[in-house]
Homo-oligomer: A and B are copies of this chain.
C-alpha cells in the first residue's frame, strides 16, 4: 500500500531520517494528503527493512536519546520509482466521513441538531482554511541541525507540486465552507419561520 511508498520516497533522498522526524514531517507537510501514526510508521519501517528495501544505522547523540536513521537501498529506490511510474489503481480515495454520515440521517435528527453540526463543521473548516494562509512549516526549527528536515522544509516552501497540493486544499475548503453556509442559511431561514 501507499504508506510504504511514502516512506521509501522520503528515504530515497541522500539524507537519512529517523522515525520520529518522519512523523513530524507527515504531520506538518503531508497530513492533509496522507496520515499515519507513529507506531504505524515504526512498524512499516521494520517491515521494509526486513524486505531489504531500507537499511538503518544508529546515531548516538550527546544530549538526546540516540536515533535510528533509515535510508533506502538501491532496491528500495527502485521499488519506489516503479510505484511512482505505475498507473494508480484508482483516483478515488476511500470515503469515510462521519459528519456526512450524520447528515445522511438528518431527518431522524431534526433541523436544530443538524444546524448545530453545520456550525461545528464550519468552525472546523474555517480554521482549516486559515491554517493554510499563515502556514510555513516549522520543521527546521524543531529539528535544528538536521539536514533532512531543513531540506524538507525548503521543498515544502518551494516545490511546485507542494504548491499544487496546497492550492487544492484551499479550494476544497472554500467550496465546503460556501456549501455549508448555504445549507445552514436554508435551515435557519426555516427555523425562524417556524419558531
Contacts and interface: CB of A to CB of B under 8 A. Distances in A.
A98 B92 CA distance: 8
Interface stretch (A14-22, A42-50, A140-148, A160-168): A160-168
Contact of A101 (B30, B98, B159): B30
B84 A34 contact: no
A85 interface: yes
A183 to B, nearest CB: 5
A93 interface: yes
A162 B108 contact: no
A63 to B, nearest CB: 33
Nearest to A182: B167
A102 interface: yes
Contacts of A117: 88
Given A88-B98, A100-B168, A105-B161, 7 more contacts: A5-B101, A6-B101, A30-B104, A34-B97, A91-B99, A91-B124, A164-B183
A107 B35 contact: no
A114 B174 CA distance: 25
A96 interface: yes
Nearest to A83: B102
Contacts of A103: 33, 161, 164-165
B107 A161 contact: yes
A94 to B, nearest CB: 6
5 contacts: A5-B101, A88-B120, A91-B124, A103-B165, A107-B155
Contacts of A87: 120
